[in-house]
Structure 1
């Protein structure tokens, strides 16, 4: 057996999540990162979303970090709303849009197809798994309707308030906030996390970003995967029964086979 503390870490990418957590948690929920709109804001005027880079496009005389800075500066040029300001605005004023609504508008069969399109859009899939046609429809529709796409790899500002409420409904007053790898963990009051500042813009949370929320009694865990458009919530049977997670987030319950690449698995129905 390994020495991983399963009550506070995410499983390996290729591991079925529920079996991996056996002995720590009995139930898991995949909360989909929502699409959203903000009245009066056009995504085209905002510094928002993943900076997509393809190594084959990098000039030979520029190293990766320098090239990233160049692309970042190009994307920020002429934008009215910088990234940090948008995160705070989103937390306060965004209206969420369900994946099921986007699927209906684009005639996609289910959330797996939409996940495939989102991952394709950030160059996060092998070529044989990509769906470029779906990406084109998705990007065109969202541009026309001024809809912000969800992002991967961090807790969404649109979900932060509900994540706080989730842990509060579990009877908790504080939570351990950790980075992705377990190197930096800070105990934080849930009341503090509930204020209007997005977690990505705060300097009182882990230096490399808030990527895990851990109940001090190890009964509840939320985490994000660096390349995925969802927040996973795992807990004990007692905790998951009490927090009514399906009322807060669009998503689905993990099956025994669910891995982080569930787009390649049998569809698990969305909780209505």
Structure 2
């Protein structure tokens, strides 16, 4: 397999983010994939998103895929992602946290992630997870999309690229083996959802700019050079936070979850 250039590659889990990209970018931000609402639709009547099969055995997964009825009355229509892009309304993580009364953001955010990907890890706060399910059911809110550029976030990305004076980007597949050049205007709300045929849109790149997502994650990493950052901070438009020298690419995981390289010294 052809080696992925570092400016398009996610940092390994044992290396701090800013250390990994020190020669490519000057700033990195964690961008939270939003919760969202779609007028006239609800998760209970129009299902949308990844189907999880948990920790099932391989044969059980094969049986599920080969015997489960693919289409149900609750399935979203084929173009639902474009409907989300056109009419969807973002719901901030901070608003959800406030609504369910979760006090600690780190615990809340980690539980959101583990709840979205249906993980049974012991550090998922079950009270928060149950509150998230109730909140979304009662308020017709969809959970954050995972692995990809969310449809509801495309118009925000369009505006940010405009502020950075970026007219064209390359969208990349998860393994960076497929790509497609698209105009930045393709992300405008009035256009269909941006699509990389047969692949997930897991990376978006331009000179001095990179935004990417990992498998089973609801947080993107947005990288910028000093020149682009001086035009506009991502936090003017996106919900998220700046990456610090002690953070790794699995930003919602405890740092001591696995063995890591030492924290880099600040100069």
Partner of 1:53: 53
Taking only aligned residues, the RMSD between alpha carbons, in angstroms, comes to 2.3
Equivalent in 73, 78, 81 of residue 78 of structure 1: 73
- State the Cα deviation string for residues 159-178 of structure 1 (Å, max 9, x = none): 11221222232222111111
Gap runs ≥5 in structure 2? 256-267
Structure with greater helix share of residues? 1
| Count of aligned residue pairs for this structure pair | 252
Shift of 1:71: 4.6
Shift of 1:12: 1.9
Matched ranges for 1:42-191 at <5 A: 42-56=42-56, 62=59, 64-71=61-68, 73=70, 76-79=71-74, 81-82=76-77, 84-123=78-117, 125=119, 127-191=121-185
Partner of 1:213: 204
| Alpha-carbon distance between aligned partners in 2 of 1:4 and 1:183, rounded to the nearest angstrom | 9
- Change in 2 beyond 3 A, CA 1:111/1:227: farther
Runs of 4+ in 1 over 6 A off after TM superposition: none
- State the Cα deviation string for residues 168-212 of structure 1 (Å, max 9, x = none): 32222111111111111222222234352112xx3xx25312111
| Alpha-carbon distance between aligned partners in 2 of 1:129 and 1:247, rounded to the nearest angstrom | 31
Partner of 1:238: 227
Shift of 1:124: 5.7
- Change in 2 beyond 3 A, CA 1:166/1:40: same
Gap runs ≥5 in structure 1? 267-272
Shift of 1:248: 1.1
| Alpha-carbon distance between aligned partners in 2 of 1:124 and 1:147, rounded to the nearest angstrom | 17
The DSSP-based 3-state class of the residue aligned with 1:127 is coil
| Alpha-carbon distance between aligned partners in 1 of 2:68 and 2:126, rounded to the nearest angstrom | 22
- Change in 2 beyond 3 A, CA 1:7/1:50: same
Partner of 1:270: none
Pairing 1:23–2:18 present:
no
